[in-house]
Structure 1
Amino acid sequence: MPSATPDVTGDGTTIYDLIPSLKRRHSTRLAAASQPSQDGANNAQDEQDVNASQSSSHLSSPPTEATEPATESKETEVDITPSKRFSFADADVILRSNDGHEFSVHRCILIAASENFETILRNPPTSSKRRKIGNNTTSLPVISTDETGEELDILLTYIYPRSRPNNVRFRHLSFDILLLDRWNILTIRDDLGRQLCSDVFIQENPVAVYNLAKKMGFVDAQHAALKHLYGISFEGNRQYFLDDGIELTAKDLQQIMMWKKEYLRSVMAVVDGYIVPPINHRNSCTKCVSAKQWCWWNTFKKKLHNWNIFNRDTIDKVVFLSLAATECQAPYGDTYKAIKLLHDSLEKEIDKLPVSFE
Structure 2
Amino acid sequence: MTTPSAPIPNSNTASSSPTISTSSVFNFEDADVTLRSSNGVDFHVHRWPLSKASPFFAALFSLPQAYSTTVGQRITCDMSEDSQTTELLLAFCYPRSLCEEPLLDDITDVERALTLAKKFDLNFVIRPAERALERIAATTPDLVYAMAWRYELSRIVRLAALASLEHPFLPHATTSSFAGVPAEALVQLWGYRMTRVAEAIKPLKDVGLPITWIRQTDIVIGPRLSPEGNTCSCAHVTLSFKDKPEGVSIKGWWWAFVCELVDQLDTFPRDTITLNTRGVLRRAMSIAGDCCVCRDSMAVDALNLTANLLQKEAYRRIKEIPYETPF
CA distance in 2, matches of 1:109, 1:357: 35
Look up the equivalent residue of 1:243 and give its one-letter code.
T
Tell me the equivalent position of 1:140: 74
Task: Give the number of aligned pairs.
Answer: 275
CA distance in 1, matches of 2:168, 2:59: 48
Kindly indicate whether the alpha-carbon contact (under 8 Å) linking 2:92 and 2:101 is maintained by their aligned counterparts in 1. yes
Tell me the equivalent position of 1:166: 103
Kindly indicate whether the alpha-carbon contact (under 8 Å) linking 1:99 and 1:149 is maintained by their aligned counterparts in 2. yes
- Kindly indicate whether residue 155 of structure 2 is the aligned counterpart of residue 220 of structure 1: yes
1:27-81 deviation digits (Å, cap 9, x = unpaired): 6xxxxxxxxxxxxxxxxxxxxxxxxxxxxxxxxxxxxxxxxxxxxxxx7662353
SS in 2 for 1:204: coil
Tell me the equivalent position of 2:228: none
Look up the equivalent residue of 1:297 and give its one-letter code.
W
Tell me the equivalent position of 1:89: 29
Bigger relative contact order, structure 1 or 2, given CA contacts below 8 A and separation 6+? 2
Higher Cα Rg, which structure: 1
- Indicate how the Cα distance of structure 1 residues 185 and 294 shifts in structure 2: closer, same or farther if over 3 A, else same: farther
CA distance in 2, matches of 1:176, 1:336: 45
- Indicate how the Cα distance of structure 1 residues 159 and 318 shifts in structure 2: closer, same or farther if over 3 A, else same: farther
SS in 1 for 2:77: strand
Q: How does 1:121-132 map to 2 (within 5 A)?
A: 121-123=61-63
Kindly indicate whether the alpha-carbon contact (under 8 Å) linking 1:181 and 1:189 is maintained by their aligned counterparts in 2. no
Look up the equivalent residue of 1:159 and give its one-letter code.
C
Tell me the equivalent position of 2:4: none
Tell me the equivalent position of 1:297: 255
Kindly indicate whether the alpha-carbon contact (under 8 Å) linking 2:110 and 2:129 is maintained by their aligned counterparts in 1. yes
CA distance in 1, matches of 2:253, 2:164: 32
Tell me the equivalent position of 1:241: 173
Pick aligned residue for 1:307 from 250, 267, 274: 267
Tell me the equivalent position of 1:334: 302
Kindly indicate whether the alpha-carbon contact (under 8 Å) linking 2:201 and 2:314 is maintained by their aligned counterparts in 1. no
Tell me the equivalent position of 2:119: 182
1:94-113 deviation digits (Å, cap 9, x = unpaired): 22223332222221211111
SS in 2 for 1:240: coil
For the aligned residues, what is the CA RMSD? 3.5
CA distance in 2, matches of 1:316, 1:193: 34
Kindly indicate whether the alpha-carbon contact (under 8 Å) linking 1:81 and 1:101 is maintained by their aligned counterparts in 2. yes
Tell me the equivalent position of 1:21: none
- Kindly indicate whether residue 191 of structure 2 is the aligned counterpart of residue 258 of structure 1: yes
What's the CA shift for 1:243?
0.6
Kindly indicate whether the alpha-carbon contact (under 8 Å) linking 1:93 and 1:142 is maintained by their aligned counterparts in 2. yes
Q: How does 1:1-358 map to 2 (within 5 A)?
A: 78-79=18-19, 81-123=21-63, 138-160=72-94, 161=96, 162-198=99-135, 201-234=136-169, 239-247=171-179, 248-272=181-205, 273=209, 274-275=211-212, 276-279=214-217, 283-284=221-222, 287=234, 291-292=249-250, 295-298=253-256, 300-301=258-259, 304-305=262-263, 306-308=266-268, 309=270, 311-314=272-275, 316=277, 319-320=280-281, 323=284, 326-327=287-288, 329=295, 330-356=298-324
Kindly indicate whether the alpha-carbon contact (under 8 Å) linking 2:236 and 2:251 is maintained by their aligned counterparts in 1. yes
SS in 2 for 1:98: coil
- Indicate how the Cα distance of structure 1 residues 344 and 87 shifts in structure 2: closer, same or farther if over 3 A, else same: same
- Indicate how the Cα distance of structure 1 residues 227 and 294 shifts in structure 2: closer, same or farther if over 3 A, else same: farther
What's the CA shift for 1:284?
4.5
- Indicate how the Cα distance of structure 1 residues 152 and 314 shifts in structure 2: closer, same or farther if over 3 A, else same: same
1:118-164 deviation digits (Å, cap 9, x = unpaired): 233233897x8968xxxxx8222222222222221111111112212
Look up the equivalent residue of 2:73 and give its one-letter code.
S
Kindly indicate whether the alpha-carbon contact (under 8 Å) linking 1:99 and 1:148 is maintained by their aligned counterparts in 2. yes
- Indicate how the Cα distance of structure 1 residues 316 and 163 shifts in structure 2: closer, same or farther if over 3 A, else same: farther
Q: Can you give the 5+ residue segments of structure 1 that lack an aligned partner in the other structure?
A: 1-25, 28-74, 132-136
- Indicate how the Cα distance of structure 1 residues 173 and 260 shifts in structure 2: closer, same or farther if over 3 A, else same: same
SS in 2 for 1:82: strand
What's the CA shift for 1:177?
2.2
SS in 1 for 2:303: helix
SS in 1 for 2:35: strand
What's the CA shift for 1:185?
0.7
- Indicate how the Cα distance of structure 1 residues 91 and 124 shifts in structure 2: closer, same or farther if over 3 A, else same: same
CA distance in 2, matches of 1:101, 1:167: 21
CA distance in 1, matches of 2:22, 2:64: 20
- Indicate how the Cα distance of structure 1 residues 255 and 84 shifts in structure 2: closer, same or farther if over 3 A, else same: same
1:314-346 deviation digits (Å, cap 9, x = unpaired): 363685376267446454333222222223334
Mean Cα deviation higher: 148-157 or 316-325: 316-325
1:295-331 deviation digits (Å, cap 9, x = unpaired): 3324532663451238552363685376267446454
